[in-house]
Structure 1
């Protein structure tokens, strides 16, 4: 039950994004690094489970940005919206990040929807666009589009970031879900409160990042209390942070513990697909550990946390925090952090063809 929160409320930052990736703790995943595809320099971690080696959160040096959450399909009889797709959701993120530099966000929306590419994957929400300062800075950034496997006509998709002073939230549900999830509602409220606090107190970036990571650590998950998995998974929409839940498995020489209980919450069993073999062409920073590449069952929870800051000069600061080591042991907060900084090359070049759009249903209150 991932969560993405975005805000345009800080006067010194055009955009702030915070993200929790909730996954199987031992799902093979690289650490963030720069890599190249179709001439585009991309900063992201990569999912090594699927052969596409996609990502859930990435940005290019020219400011193309995308973040993705999964949508949990439940109707096994709905062939148009498969529970398990044949292609990786993360591949759509890289399809945007590695796309032609001259392609506008709106053109990509048309290309993806009109080709039917969104129908061959499991449920998802994809926020994508080019981070560009508009000529009228009071109007904020160029808008970002929201796509999903349930998107209709390209001209009907919702758009974000068209106003300053806003907060937006996405999780694992359709963007037009009429019921706001508790974690998204509280996440937006907490994010705006943090921005107000740091602005009024004149706090710097380091203090603000600490508060943003604390927001991502907010754990309000109810106890399982004997509920089976299908009932208990509903509770995950109530907590921004998901502590480790599940049963640890024996992988290599790692000792097995029959039950995992975090914060007093009993364990439950979760199973995942087996991973694809690692490629001999991977660089060191892309290669999953030998343990994680052969073990994909057991604990589930918040695996990675990401913060993206983009100031009004187009300077990007990218933080990723890993919460677990390669054997599924918790990492002390801050010990698994990586930080990148760079300047968006096309920051002051307003894209042609990205006309302003009115936000669609659910664009702000998911």
Structure 2
């Protein structure tokens, strides 16, 4: 059960985002890399080339992702919604289309399209339906005109039937936001947060406060942020069946790899048949090989747990620091903390109105 935490509380950064991707450890996934696609532009007869930074899922034919950002600042991060009613046709547990394709729908959108326009057409056209349950944080990372604030980000969901149902976040300073595998809960909602969201939000607020007080540099801050993503409150019995462990995932920010005898066996088979060329943390670039998954039950091989961790920091000049940490190689071998890190830095094009 993934978790995304975002904050606008650090005075030096317009946005800080943290993410744990919880998934079957063996699910084929590329390394993060820059890749290009073409977006249709209403203002031009020629499509516009868009540069996207993300990892890509190699299991589904869409080669989608769960988190990414473009050179122009289109940002998106997705968490699955934990559906429990397997007979609800309107909100299926698994859809005919990949949820990762919802992320790339925004990343590969016309760079000139406003976030509000994208969310409206996705809801009105029914494009949020036909996939498994999800919540998508998306928007343009831009400095708001005439203010030391960020343009708001939307939280799009397959449960939205009208554009006015879409929550907006990150448009004000001094806030922390958390999203996992349930409906986003706003400050004014009289509902309890999942324990992992409460723990993560509290830890992030305290970490930012400490970092400002101690004037931590960016590397020191990132180390502290990774410690939040490593917070493990899962039971010590990692051999429990998935059915037993799934309800417990809402309590732990980090999920250690776990699974019953069959999943343990699949993990060992993957290690024994290890491919040397995949000894690090997966293929990069356009090496998008693999066996596309057409099963509506989804990928369910090997142990389940936190597979990747991502930090995204954007300062007030529009400089982006993107670090993705792989914890497992494609053969099911654990990677020591930091050895699987991939780091990228760049400046968002058109960050503020003064640059346009």
Q: TM-score, normalised by structure 1?
A: 0.83
Please tell me whether the aligned partners of residues 28 and 48 of structure 1 are also in contact (alpha carbons under 8 angstroms). yes
**Aligned-residue offset at 1:77:** 2.0
RMSD: 2.5
Q: Which piece of structure 1 moves more, 68-77 or 236-245?
A: 68-77
Change (3 A) 1:142 1:255: same
Residue 364 of structure 1 corresponds to: none
1:287 aligned to 2:251?
no
For residue 254 of structure 1, the aligned residue among 245, 252, 271 is 271
**Aligned-residue offset at 1:41:** 0.2
1:310 aligned to 2:314?
yes
1:149 aligned to 2:158?
yes
Please tell me whether the aligned partners of residues 292 and 326 of structure 1 are also in contact (alpha carbons under 8 angstroms). no
Tell me the distance in 1 between the aligned counterparts of 2:82 and 2:177. Answer: 20
Residue 276 of structure 2 corresponds to: none
Please tell me whether the aligned partners of residues 187 and 240 of structure 1 are also in contact (alpha carbons under 8 angstroms). yes
Residue 355 of structure 1 corresponds to: none
Q: After superposition, where does 1:322-333 map in structure 2 within 5 Å?
A: 322-333=326-337
**Aligned-residue offset at 1:78:** 1.1
Tell me the distance in 2 between the aligned counterparts of 1:320 and 1:10. Answer: 21
Tell me the distance in 1 between the aligned counterparts of 2:292 and 2:119. Answer: 35
SS in structure 1 of the partner of residue 333 of structure 2: coil
Residue 19 of structure 1 corresponds to: 19
SS in structure 2 of the partner of residue 145 of structure 1: strand
Tell me the distance in 1 between the aligned counterparts of 2:238 and 2:103. Answer: 38
Residue 222 of structure 2 corresponds to: 209
How many residues end up aligned between the 2 structures? Answer: 324
Q: Deviations over 1:232-277 (max 9, x none)?
A: 3111100000001023316767339xxxxxxxxxxxxxxxxxxxxx
Tell me the distance in 1 between the aligned counterparts of 2:69 and 2:270. Answer: 37
Tell me the distance in 2 between the aligned counterparts of 1:170 and 1:69. Answer: 7
Q: After superposition, where does 1:182-221 map in structure 2 within 5 Å?
A: 182-221=195-234
Q: After superposition, where does 1:132-171 map in structure 2 within 5 Å?
A: 132-138=142-148, 140-171=149-180
Please tell me whether the aligned partners of residues 60 and 292 of structure 2 are also in contact (alpha carbons under 8 angstroms). no
Q: TM-score, normalised by structure 2?
A: 0.85
Please tell me whether the aligned partners of residues 291 and 327 of structure 1 are also in contact (alpha carbons under 8 angstroms). no
Please tell me whether the aligned partners of residues 28 and 289 of structure 1 are also in contact (alpha carbons under 8 angstroms). no
Runs (5+) with no aligned partner, structure 2 = 39-48, 274-282, 294-298
**Aligned-residue offset at 1:103:** 0.7
Please tell me whether the aligned partners of residues 31 and 286 of structure 1 are also in contact (alpha carbons under 8 angstroms). no
Residue 37 of structure 2 corresponds to: 37
Please tell me whether the aligned partners of residues 8 and 14 of structure 1 are also in contact (alpha carbons under 8 angstroms). yes
Q: After superposition, where does 1:328-339 map in structure 2 within 5 Å?
A: 328-339=332-343
